[in-house]
Amino acid sequence: MMSHLSLQLQNYRLTTAEILYYLPDHPEILQTFIWQEYDLLPNFPELHKFLDFWAHHIEGRMHSVTVAHVALIKASEFKYTSCSLSLH
């Protein structure tokens, strides 16, 4: 398994999906499930793999999926300085 830093350097982004699904025993009630993993944009292969697993192995029928993602490492955040100062 790759480290989180190496995944981010390969353009993976922290992806969060909120899945609303119907409870199997009470189909009129919605429950929420939060999934979070590093994934590639725009196709989200890891999320699709998880949703396929859900559809085939979990009884709760999905109602909706909301996806958010964020780049934790950005090139614009790094600045080089010519000196360093310390205060005592």
- Domain extents in the chain: 4-77
Element (H, E) at 9: helix 4-9
Q: Kindly tell me the sign of the dihedral angle through the C-alpha atoms of 11, 16, 21, 24.
A: positive
The model carries a pTM of 0.75
pLDDT in tens, 64-80: 999 998 877 666 555 66
pLDDT in tens, 52-62: 999 999 999 99
Q: Which of 3-12, 17-26, 63-72, 77-86 has the lowest mean pLDDT?
A: 77-86
